[in-house]
């Protein structure tokens, strides 16, 4: 994730790169919020949906943890919040 514009004094407010960074951060925050909401909704839909999404999340967590780089491990930890059995 990019560093917020306020934390980057070398970028002026009228710099097009700075505007692009803010746009990317807003797009990322929006995508993450939609993903969280979708996951919560799917988990509540039915027992079958809960089982399937839990299995998919467990697979993603395993895949990320095997990569062992800091971003993958952090992502795996973030995903675990949706998988009570793994937390």
pLDDT at 58 over 70: yes
* CB atoms near residue 36 (< 10 Å): 13
In a domain, 11, yes or no: no
Residues near 24 by beta carbon (within 8 Å), at least 6 away in sequence: 2
Q: Is residue 16 part of a domain?
A: no
Do the domain assignments include residue 48? no
Q: In percent, how much of the chain has pLDDT > 70?
A: 72
- Domain contains 42: no
Could you tell me if 61 and 76 are in contact, meaning their C-beta atoms sit under 8 angstroms apart? yes
68 Rama class: left (phi>0) / alpha (psi -120 to 50) / beta: left
Averaged pLDDT for residues 67-86: 83
Residue 71 lies in a domain: yes
Number of domains in the chain: 1
Domain range for 76 is 53-87
Q: Is residue 61 part of a domain?
A: yes
Give the whole-angstrom CA distance, residue 24 versus residue 2.
8
Is the pTM higher than 0.85? The answer reads: no
**Does any domain span residue 87?**
yes
- Tracing tokens 């990320």 back to the chain, one arrives at 64
Residue 83 domain flag? yes
């Amino acid at each position: 994730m990019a560093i917020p514009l306020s934390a980057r004094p070398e970028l002026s407010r009228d710099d097009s790169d700075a505007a692009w960074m803010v746009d990317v951060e807003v797009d990322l925050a929006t995508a993450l919020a939609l993903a969280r909401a979708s996951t919560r909704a799917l988990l509540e839909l039915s027992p079958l949906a809960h089982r399937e999404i839990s299995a998919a999340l467990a697979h993603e967590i395993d895949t990320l943890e095997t990569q062992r780089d800091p971003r993958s491990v952090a992502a795996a930890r973030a995903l675990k919040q949706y998988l009570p059995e793994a937390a």
